[in-house]
């Protein structure tokens, strides 16, 4: 049985690794990214590059998107050279971007009205999860479409959970980001405290990551903080975008989330110091 043809729009830090997994699984993958040179390793491996999103999706059965901001999602789907301008009937679009739930619903509504199918499927796990093919994927949309695409999700994800109707994946990702936001403060402050107390931080990690304080951020980003490695697995600028979305949604629900507000305040200060392109673990720099 012939495998589906896939188009992938946006091959940044995480998207590039996902496309590598799809190519390794012998899928034909058409790609579009604004800067072609950044996709050289994918092209060398067999990905087919196109100069617009519309061209990339022309023959695709399934389209994945992973771009930066909700405005980018809007443009890449609804723009003049966007996905919906050249998508085949019955094709499935899957937005892996962390974006607004209302936009996920808009895409799903448009898809339904034009004989397409749509899922919102934001991911968690950062560059490490993308490289290892172990991403958590939170999916909203029709259950039958989720079931159809599950074997492909399993190519690059490990914890793949159907959350409900369109927008539910994005709402779940907001829960994820809210939990991470305050956890990052805890990780940074624990390491700063340990260093000030004269402890060996690697030895500290051996104790605390195996106990009740354990978390993905502590185990994976704690060591980067200790080395002052600020390379982006996930950009501060994108984390701030997520926090803004979560705070906007919380306001609509009448919720006050002081922990999230504090985390956003600290990261805003880092951006003011020119650190928007750094990884989220650069929060440790706040405590310099």
Among all residues, which ones are annotated catalytic?
A: 173
285: closest CA among 242, 243, 237, 224? Answer: 224
Question: CA-CA distances (angstroms) from residue 279 to 11, 90, 165, 253, 262?
Answer: 17, 38, 32, 30, 18
Helices (H), the chain: 13-24, 40-45, 53-57, 70-78, 101-113, 126-132, 143-156, 168-196, 201-208, 216, 222-227, 236-253, 258-272
Spatial distance between the Cα atoms of 261 and 143, rounded to a whole number of angstroms? 34
Give every CB contact of residue 259 below 8 A, 6+ residues apart in sequence. 178, 181, 182, 185
């Amino acid at each position: 049985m012939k495998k589906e043809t896939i188009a992938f729009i946006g091959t940044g830090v995480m998207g590039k690794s996902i496309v590598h997994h799809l190519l390794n699984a012998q899928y034909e993958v058409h790609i579009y990214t604004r800067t072609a040179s950044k996709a050289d390793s994918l092209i060398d491996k067999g990905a087919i590059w196109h100069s617009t999103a519309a061209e990339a999706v022309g023959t695709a059965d399934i389209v994945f998107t992973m771009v930066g901001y909700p405005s980018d999602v809007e443009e890449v789907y609804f723009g003049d050279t966007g996905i919906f301008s050249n998508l085949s009937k019955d094709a499935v679009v899957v937005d892996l971007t962390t974006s607004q739930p209302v936009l996920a619903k808009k895409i799903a509504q448009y898809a339904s009205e034009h004989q397409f199918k749509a899922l919102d499927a934001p991911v968690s796990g950062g560059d490490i999860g993308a490289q290892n093919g172990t991403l958590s994927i939170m999916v909203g949309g029709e259950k039958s479409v989720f079931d159809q695409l599950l074997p492909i999700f399993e190519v690059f994800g490990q914890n793949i959970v159907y959350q409900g109707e369109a927008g539910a994946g994005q709402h779940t990702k907001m829960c994820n980001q809210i939990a991470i936001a305050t956890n990052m403060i805890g990780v940074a402050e624990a390491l700063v405290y340990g260093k000030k107390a004269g402890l060996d931080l690697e030895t500290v990690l051996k104790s605390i990551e195996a106990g009740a304080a354990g978390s993905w951020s502590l185990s994976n980003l704690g060591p980067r903080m200790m080395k002052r490695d600020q390379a982006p697995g996930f950009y501060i600028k994108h984390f701030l975008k997520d926090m803004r979305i979560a705070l906007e949604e919380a306001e609509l629900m009448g919720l006050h989330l002081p922990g999230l507000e504090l985390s956003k305040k600290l990261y805003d200060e880092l951006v003011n110091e020119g650190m928007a392109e750094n990884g989220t673990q650069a929060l440790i720099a706040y405590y310099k």
